[in-house]
Structure 1
Amino acid sequence: MNPVTHPTTLSRREMLARLGVLLGGALIGGDTWLRGGTLASKAPRPGFTADDLVLLDEIAETIIPATETPGAKAAGVGAFMAMMVTDCYDDAHHAAFAAGLAQLRAEGFLVATPAARTARLNALDAEQRAHQAAKAAAAPAHFFKLMKQLTVLGYFTSEIGAAQVLVYEEAPGRFDGNMPYRKGDRYFFTPPSRHL
């Protein structure tokens, strides 16, 4: 008699890892990923130039500047943003991102002082929050929201962000309810599971 075969069961760790990927994807660029099933145009999109990468690096460095640890520019976040927008975003978000980049270039972001750069990005942050509150569901996200999300994602998944800013634990998963934490301690980085 053949034994009854059961579908593969997930361990608690695998289930939590998959749930984390699912929820993390919803938080970072969720509106873009929701439209992932729509067909993109077949026409190739224009790529980003070397000048664009310099500007993206400076924007990212203004968002996450170098302190005791390297900043976003050292982590190569500009190239990461360009790759993600070109390879993963739909045409509407790609166009919004490119238009926002052109706007910042036209405003002279690269030649502005650090204080002026920070003030401009703070103004854009307020603008994107108002845009988010008023936008229709089908409208693309504000370009600065995309830039901020990609800066954070690119930085903290880079080697610099994961190893020098966050605490890297080779074998995560153990629960320690009484772990000492002092203000200023680094947070833990959990690398993506190799089993997903």
Structure 2
Amino acid sequence: MNRRLAIKQVLIFAGGMALLPSCLREEGKVSIPLKNLDISATQEKLLAEIAELIIPKTDTSGAKDLNLHLFVLKMLDDCYEPVDQQQFLAGLKTFEGHEGKGLAQLVSDANTGKSGISEEVSKFYNIMKSRTIGGYLNSKYVMSNLLIWELVPGRYNGYFRVKSA
């Protein structure tokens, strides 16, 4: 057998195997791999809308621009107990079917702790809000564009007056 032909066929086969997972990806699944959660694409879009209501886009980037809903999902999948994950999913199901002003009103009610909000919705919103804000404050965008950060001890100022003890 021709050695060049064998190497060529092996490389084509390896390239096909590398592309195979993207071809077999189920439609309607979340865009990042999750081990413990089963989230659909519509639920991912809903999470993006809720995150955008928490940190809206103004003259700075909002939660959707920074993909903070994916950060929330990854943190929930990796760092939370299964009980908390189930409560999060139950709370998320409550938000499904609400769009526009209905969704904004439900988020506002959950944010203010209005009576009549279930424990699942409260747990969902607390996780969503804390992880969205945490992801925003630790994002590359905020750290490089909004916060001026200097290494410790900072720059030297020879004219700084020192009080005597």
- TM-score bucket of the superposed structures, by smaller chain: 0.5 to 0.7
> Which consecutive unaligned segments of at least 5 residues does structure 2 have?
1-34, 156-165
Alignment root-mean-square deviation, CA: 2.8
Residue pair 2:95, 2:106 contacting (<8 A) in 1 also: no
Give distance in 2, aligned partners of 1:129 and 1:142.
14
User: How many percent of aligned residue pairs carry the same amino acid?
Assistant: 28
Give distance in 1, aligned partners of 2:103 and 2:42.
17
Residue 161 (str. 1) matches residue 152 (str. 2): no
Decide which of 49, 53, 60 is 2:40's aligned counterpart: 49
| Residues 12-68 of structure 1: CA deviation (Å, up to 9, x unaligned) | xxxxxxxxxxxxxxxxxxxxxxxxxxxxxxxx6333232222111110100100001
Decide which of 89, 110, 120 is 1:124's aligned counterpart: 110
| Residues 72-122 of structure 1: CA deviation (Å, up to 9, x unaligned) | 11111010011011111001110111111111013x2xx323xx4332212
Give distance in 1, aligned partners of 2:142 and 2:68.
10
Residue 84 (str. 1) matches residue 64 (str. 2): no
Number of equivalences: 119
> Which consecutive unaligned segments of at least 5 residues does structure 1 have?
1-43, 176-196
Residue 68 (str. 1) matches residue 68 (str. 2): no
CA shift, 1:143, in A, is: 1.5
| TM-score normalised per structure 2 | 0.62
CA shift, 1:124, in A, is: 0.9
Residue pair 1:75, 1:159 contacting (<8 A) in 2 also: no
Q: Which has the higher contact order (CA 8 A, sep 6+)?
A: 1
Give distance in 1, aligned partners of 2:114 and 2:37.
25
List 4+ stretches of structure 1 deviating above 3 A: 128-131, 172-175
Residue pair 2:52, 2:62 contacting (<8 A) in 1 also: yes
Equivalence for 2:129: 148
Residue pair 2:37, 2:85 contacting (<8 A) in 1 also: no
| TM-score normalised per structure 1 | 0.53
Give distance in 1, aligned partners of 2:115 and 2:149.
35
